[in-house]
Every structure is written in structure tokens, then in C-alpha cells.
Amino acid sequence: STTATERPLWLHFVDSIPKQYANKPPVNTGVEPDVKTLSQCDIRGLTPEPVAPNPLHDWALQESAKQLTEAYGRPMKDNIDITGFYTHCLTTTDRELWYAINYWGIFAFTFDDYLDVLAKQGADSVRELSEWQMKYMMGTSGGDNPFDRMGVKALSLLRHYMSPDQYVRHVSFCVGWIGTYITKHKDRPLTHEEFWSLRERDNGGDFVWQLAELSVGIDPIEWGLTDDPLWLSFNKTASKHAILVNDIYSVSSEVSEEEGEYSYQYVLMANEGYTAQQAVDQAVAEVHGLWEMALHYAERLYEYKLPVLDRYVDEVLHGCRGNLYWSTVCPRYFQNGHYLDVDTTIDVMFRLINKSLSQSSTKHSFLRQLARCESHLAQKPAIYTPKTSEPLENLRRNERILFDKTYHKILNQLSSNPTFDGHYNSNELSVANEWFRRVIDYNVPKGKRNRGLMAVISYHLMATDDQKSPQMLDSVRALGWALELFQAYFLILDDIMDESITRRGQKCWYRQEGVGLIACNDATLIESGIYHLVKLHFKNKPYYMDIVELIQEVFRKTAYGQCLDMLSNPGNRRPDLNDYTFDKYSAIVKYKTSYYTCVMPVRLAMYLSDYNSAKDHQLVEQILLRMGHLFQARDDYLDCFGDSFITGKIGTDIEDGKCCWPIVTALEYCSQTQRQVLQTHYGSKDYESVKQIRQIYEDLGLDNMFNTYENHVFNEILEMIDKYKYEMDVPIAIFDEPLAQIYNRNK
């Protein structure tokens, strides 16, 4: 028998048909789907199947196989040569065959399936198939391509059988190569106005919103939307975003000016005198600005409170993300006909992904997909999917509102009617209750609430529907606020020990008039509130002791981490920088930050949603510890290089002589002379000393060095997720929430 790599690619498509779909009839037996019915579907309520979310998968492949059998005169199993197969597809005059191959054979399987199959075949098949798709299937050949007529309808139908992230990837795969380039004028370069006038007429980015109209069943003319300036501004911004993304990819990879291609970067170079790199940087900056504008217009469109319009806005934003995704993945495989390692093209697109996909799991999944193809993995079972069909960004937005709404209820539970052995005298503790209420209100709700929200969102991703009663979700939010109390406890004490000035844009609690060192006992009050909330909401649950013991365990580890941190620079003595190694720094971060910032919220959510496997907890903890390291490294960076107006605190790590990322990195790269300056001045509160330390950081280029380090650790985390994902029962989507909160944040 032939081996897997010897068999033609098309047979692998057939082999990948899930058994449970073998006898399912087609949803639509006509060649053109009835798009009018799509508006009647509620896409938010559909949950994808774990293995193959698209129930058309089996029937679509069988239809294509039947058409091919008739065309070739022999059955599919006779190993049709892949090159001959596609050549026949391109030259056939049978438009129905052409349509069947494109629509049912190509569009009907998910992007994940596509990558799994291609990975088996190796680099040559990946390039061969993709070159065909780019040239002929994406509407750039100038012929009578069925994509031009029905492709978007096929995609809009598929939207109802895929999860949002799968659809983003699939849309980007299918529409990312629609022709958008303009032949440049030979006599003179185009001006900015001429460029955009031609580009907009060329409809270079219109596929983003045209597809969304079909998907949700909107008729802009009938609705009168074509006269709405807000609607038009939103669509125009999305189109320009897509055009610039395509341009950045093209100039950075395989499009050459000699071939007559024209891009925004070329306009900047010709009219403004930019270098090639400056032009790319400017285009990237403008994409960031366009994304912010799109989000602004989206928020205003949401104010209309029309569900179908909300879905339309979501679809357009998904389309922009999908275009970014494909533009980043594409050069990974094909540049000048070669299969490449990660190159400068990825670096350029990665900057776009960091900003525009900062709140989407698509950013993380695209690197996982690259790793899958790079290593030519054998096909494995699909990853267990999250138990919610709601997009992560929507879940986060909605849950933040609900989480904040529960705050005053939690405040009342904490600051009223404490019971001690069943006895309570309101007069005895009324003053203490009022003080405790003030302590909580000043220190707990004014942060980013990331730890509490991380626990709640992780629960949503793991819990089943019957575990999400309103009462249970309120209890989960209470646990989230318990984690915010945990954070406040250590921040109050940390500010006292570090003699900090501000926290979260206001004076540190101990610096408030009438507080001082009373803050030490206030921290103890907050600690007691953690266990009071847990007991109040979970005392009768089978996992009550699991969550109590986990909180106690993390308390102990965090206290040890604080101890390591303070002992690295005891008293007011200057630190011995010979002790400031990366190993020591990593140990401090692990115990002081990682356990309570990343590990505890997710593991608590695992217990609440009945994920009790010790192995699952162990593997999840390994990944989350590395995320915690990334969080603290970014925190150290912001202490030195961040904007205090944005971060809400004045950084004092240099004055305090902290063992933090900038100093341990500087010690690795500095000269002997610079090291002597660091040893003399690091840990001094003198202005000139701090200034000299900052100058050395600047001379060493620590600002740019951190970006490289952050990307390195980020990639390590993705590799860990990819390594362990088939060994865990938990959905890997639980890692997207902490990554989105940690990576590339500015406060």
C-alpha cells in the first residue's frame, strides 16, 4: 500500500471525512445557496462540532468526487495526479464541474482541516496548491471565475457552521488574494489623492463589508443605510484597513515594482522621500490608526441597538482581522517560490497583529498554525473546543459590565453583618465596618480587574450550559472579586515596603491622611475578606476545599516571592549587582507574580467547572507560569519606560534597587565601565544617579531589546501550548484570555 506522503492531496480531503457525517444529506442541494434565509439564522447560538464544525463537509467532497469521476472516466481511488487534476480544473469548459470543484471541494472544509492535510504533504504541495489558489481561485486571473459569482455566497453559508475564529481564518484564506493592485503610471508617480481614488474604485477592500452584508442578510439600499454617513465611514475605514494590510504584505515580500504593481508604500517613497523601511513603518502606523477609527465607528453603530446591525459590525471587524491573519501566514510559505523560515515579512506583519488583534485569539492561533505546518505534523484529533460560541472579545466586553455591576453587592457582603460564632453586635463593629468599606472602595475596584475577569472568562470557556445558572455565575464573579482582594492585599503592603508614591492614578493608601501604618492591618482585613467571600458562595460545593487550599498555597508562594524580592535589596543598602542574575530574577517573578496573576485564576475556574485531573492542572500551570514571567517582565519595562499618565504609577524600581528585567539585562550587555556606573548609582534616590542609570539603559537600547525579548517569550508560550494541547482535556482557548491581557499592554 502507498504511504501517506505518496498519495495525492485530493484523496486526503476524502480521507478526512468524519464518520458521523457519512449519511447526512446536503443542507442545500442546489448549486446556489439561498442567501435570503441566512438572516433568519442566529449564528450566536450555534456550537461547532469538536471534530468537523461544517456538516456540509462529507456531502461536498462526495459531490466533487462524483463530478471528477465523470470527467476523468475513472474513480477517484485511482490516484489522480494532483498537478493533472488542477490542470484539468483550469482548462475544462464544463462550468458546472469548475463550480463543483471550487465551491464544494475547496470552500467546504475548514482552515484547520486544510493545514492538517497540507502538513502531511510537505512544503512542495503547500506551495503548489497555494499558487494555484492564488492565481486562479481568488479572482485575479481575469477569467470567468465562479468565485466572482458565488464565492462570497458560499462563504456566507459556511459562516453558520463554523466557530467565529474558524470563520475568521477561513474567510481570510478565501478572500485574502482578491486583486487589489493598480498598475502604476510610467510617467510620474500617483499622488495620495489619485492613489486612494483609484484604489477605492478598484474595490480593493470592499470584500470585507460586502461579505458581511451577505452573511447577516442586510440590504443597505432597502434599509436606507447608503445615506448614513456613519455607515459609510465605517465601511470606508474597513476597506482602507484591508488595502493597507495587503500593500504592506506585498511590498515586504514578492511584489516588485518592475511587474507594474503599485502600493501605498511606493506612493510614500515617491512623494514624501521615504525609505522603504520608513514607508512600511508609516503604513503600519496608519493601519493602527484605521483600526482605532473602525472601533470608534463600531461603538457608535452599536448604539443603534439593532441585533442584525451588531452582527454586521462584528462580521466586518472579523473580516479585517482575517485579512491580517492571511497576510501574515501567507509569506510564511511562499516567497519567490520557496518555503522559508520566519523572515522580515513576518516581523512587519507581526507588528500589525500585535495591535489590531490585541483582543482576539486569532493572534495566538496563527502562530500555532505556522508551527503545525512547519513541523509537518501527522493528523491528530481536533482540539477540544470551548463550551461557548460567543466570540472572546464580546464575552470579555459583556462580562466586564456584569462583573462591575456585582461590585456593590460584594462590597455589602464584606462590610456588613460579620458573624463570629453566631454572635454579632452592630454597635461593637460599626466603626470598623465603615473603615473596612472605605479600605475596599479605595483599593479594590480601581484597577484593571484582569485577575478577577480572567477567572470568570475561563469559567465561561470551560463550563457547560447547565453549570452557568445566573446564581452560579454570580458566585463565580464573587470569586473573581476575591482575587481582586488578593491583589489589593499585596499591593498595599508592597507600596509600604517600597515607599511608593502613587498606585492606579491616586496616592498609595498608606499615604492617605489618617492611614499611615494602619494600612498593615487594613491588608489583613482584606485577606479575611477573601475567605469570607469564598465561604459565603462555595461552602456547600464539593470543590470548596480545593479552592480554599489553592488560595492558601498561592498566598504562601507569593509571600515567599515577596521575601525574595525584599531580601535582594535589604534595608537601605545598595544592592550587590553580582547577585542580580536572570536565574534569581526568574525565581522572584515565579513566586511573587506568576502564581497569583496567571495560575490561580485559571486553576480556580478549572475546579469550578469540574476539571480535576492532576495532569491537566500540572500542564496548565507550566504554561501559565511562563505567561506570568512575561507579565512581570512587561511590568518591569513599563516601570522604567512606560508613561506614568497611562500606567497610573510613578516607577521607582531604579531608586529602590529592584532586581528587575532592565537591570539584569543591562548587566548582561554592559561594558565594564558601564557596570561600574551601575554598581555605584543603582538603588540611589538621587536624581543624578537615576539619570545616569537611565542613560545607560538608553545607550544599550533596552527599549528595543525588550520588544525582542517579549516576542521570544511569547513564541515560547505558543510552542508550549502546541506541545501540550493534545495531552490536556481543557480547551486551549483558556490561554487566549491571559495572553490577550498580558502581551504588549501599556499599563
Model pLDDT for residues 82-117, shown as the tens digit of each residue: 334 434 444 443 333 333 344 333 333 333 343 344
Q: Going by C-beta distance under 8 Å and a sequence separation of 6 or more, which residues neighbour residue 475?
A: 537, 538
Please give the helix or strand (H or E) that residue 56 lies within, else none. none
Q: What is the rounded CA–CA span in Å between residue 252 and residue 274?
A: 15
8 Å CB contact between 24 and 55: yes
8 Å CB contact between 125 and 82: yes
Burial of 129 (0-12, 13-18, 19+ CB in 10 A): buried
Burial of 93 (0-12, 13-18, 19+ CB in 10 A): exposed
What confidence score (pLDDT) does residue 509 get?
A: 94
Q: Which grid coordinates belong to 640?
A: 522604567
Q: What is the rounded CA–CA span in Å between residue 289 and residue 566?
A: 42
324-338, 427-441, 639-653, range with greatest mean pLDDT: 427-441
* Percent of the chain residues topping a pLDDT of 90: 29
Name the more confident of 363 and 589. 589
Helix (H, G, I), strand (E, B) or coil at 417: coil
What confidence score (pLDDT) does residue 30 get?
A: 31
pLDDT average, residue stretch 197-223: 60
Q: Going by C-beta distance under 8 Å and a sequence separation of 6 or more, which residues neighbour residue 373?
A: 115, 118, 119, 126, 332, 333
pLDDT at 491 over 90: yes
pLDDT in tens, 259-310: 434 577 777 887 778 887 777 778 778 887 888 888 888 888 888 777 777 8
Q: Going by C-beta distance under 8 Å and a sequence separation of 6 or more, which residues neighbour residue 552?
A: none
Q: What is the rounded CA–CA span in Å between residue 184 and residue 195?
A: 9
Q: What is the DSSP letter of 539?
A: T
Q: At 590, is the pLDDT very low, low, confident or very high (cuts 50, 70, 90)?
A: very high
What confidence score (pLDDT) does residue 188 get?
A: 56
pLDDT in tens, 325-372: 445 444 333 333 322 223 333 334 344 444 444 444 444 443 333 333
| Fold match flag (4-374 vs 392-742) | yes
pLDDT at 60 over 50: no
* Percent of the chain residues topping a pLDDT of 70: 55
User: Which whole-number Å values give the CA distances from 470 to 60, 409, 461, in the listed order?
Assistant: 41, 15, 16
What confidence score (pLDDT) does residue 204 get?
A: 52
Q: Going by C-beta distance under 8 Å and a sequence separation of 6 or more, which residues neighbour residue 698?
A: none
Q: Which of 342-356, 567-581, 622-636, 694-708 has the lowest mean pLDDT?
A: 342-356
Q: What is the rounded CA–CA span in Å between residue 186 and residue 358?
A: 40
Q: What is the rounded CA–CA span in Å between residue 182 and residue 203?
A: 11
Q: At 419, is the pLDDT very low, low, confident or very high (cuts 50, 70, 90)?
A: low
What confidence score (pLDDT) does residue 235 get?
A: 87
The alpha carbon torsion through 36, 321, 289, 739 (nearest 10 deg) reads 140
Q: What is the rounded CA–CA span in Å between residue 306 and residue 692?
A: 57
Helices (DSSP H) in 499-543: which residue ranges?
518-538
Q: At 741, is the pLDDT very low, low, confident or very high (cuts 50, 70, 90)?
A: confident
Q: Which grid coordinates belong to 716?
A: 515560547
pLDDT at 6 over 80: no
What confidence score (pLDDT) does residue 425 get?
A: 57
User: Which whole-number Å values give the CA distances from 74 to 1, 2, 68, 126, in the listed order?
Assistant: 20, 19, 8, 26
Cα angle 532, 536, 542; round to 5: 110
8 Å CB contact between 593 and 557: no
pLDDT average, residue stretch 708-733: 83
What confidence score (pLDDT) does residue 49 get?
A: 27
pLDDT average, residue stretch 109-138: 37
Average pLDDT, the chain: 68
Domain ranges of the chain: 4-374, 392-742
pLDDT average, residue stretch 239-254: 66
The closest alpha carbon to 383, from 163, 172, 121, 601, belongs to 163
Architecture of the domain made up of 4-374: Orthogonal Bundle (1.10)
pLDDT at 675 over 50: yes
What is the residue-wise DSSP string for 180-248? Answer: ---PPPSSSPPPHHHHHHHHHHTTTTTHHHHHHHHHHT--HHHHTGGG-HHHHHHHHHHHHHHHHHHHH
pLDDT at 148 over 70: no
What confidence score (pLDDT) does residue 710 get?
A: 87
pLDDT average, residue stretch 564-580: 83
Q: What is the rounded CA–CA span in Å between residue 384 and residue 622?
A: 19
What confidence score (pLDDT) does residue 391 get?
A: 63
8 Å CB contact between 76 and 68: yes
Q: Which grid coordinates belong to 682?
A: 543603582
Cα 563–chain centre separation = 34
What confidence score (pLDDT) does residue 583 get?
A: 94
pLDDT in tens, 503-557: 887 899 999 999 999 999 999 999 999 999 999 999 999 999 999 999 999 999 9
pLDDT average, residue stretch 162-178: 43
Q: At 215, is the pLDDT very low, low, confident or very high (cuts 50, 70, 90)?
A: low
User: Which whole-number Å values give the CA distances from 701 to 82, 277, 450, 660, 698, in the listed order?
Assistant: 51, 19, 30, 16, 5
- What is the fold of 392-742? Farnesyl Diphosphate Synthase (1.10.600)
Name the more confident of 574 and 421. 574
Q: Going by C-beta distance under 8 Å and a sequence separation of 6 or more, which residues neighbour residue 570?
A: none
pLDDT at 695 over 90: yes
What is the residue-wise DSSP string for 359-382? Answer: T-THHHHHHHHHHHHHTTPPP-PP
Q: What is the rounded CA–CA span in Å between residue 325 and residue 362?
A: 7
What is the residue-wise DSSP string for 552-617? Answer: HHHHHHHHHHHHHHHHTS-TTPPP-GGG--HHHHHHHHIIIIIIIIIIHHHHHHHHHTT---HHHH
